Structure 1
């Protein structure tokens, strides 16, 4: 399966494409929801490492992403990301955030597997994502 055909990539792109107003705010909401789920599994330091690596890898395509992506206080975790999105067009924010989310989920999928990352996304965003066998994970 081509990586661009992965259901989670399609989900991320569709969630971002739905955003027409306050795109930066919507992007941060997605991050906060995802962070909650990932932190519950790998802890805050684990999430921070994944996030920082994702920003680093995505900066080659979107140099406007933060250079110091995480503040020391968890309650302001995505302040720099939001600041980097402000002043950009909605299209740029959607594209940058999609790449950033895809990069993070690709890293995590390589560590824990496609089915588990799909389950995490399902819990975070209340979405149904088909797994390899065609069955869907449902947030029940």
Structure 2
């Protein structure tokens, strides 16, 4: 049986005066292709309801353990919030921002999981691994 995940993903990214708005928008859509960024008051705002491409990138670049660590560290109830580096996102790579924000700001992602649970959703997006390979939790 396939689980249907119901999530609301809100993405915000500041746009500095020295940045090209379209490049910051491209950084967002490179990771979240279904998002449609809108410029408002010095930042881009976008929403989407899936993280399939983001999950594919986590698998491709073999950073599932890092992602799981960030997601569980930032989990609060049914919400996961994390920051990503703009330059990496512009190149369709995922680089989690930790510590002080970048000079031009980071992409902030807030995921609210409606169904099933946030923990199950994390297992779906970034499954646990053994020796660097995803573990099949259903098997």
Which structure has the highest helix share of the two? 1
Which structure has the highest strand share of the two? 2
Larger Rg: 2
TM-score in terms of structure 2 length: 0.30
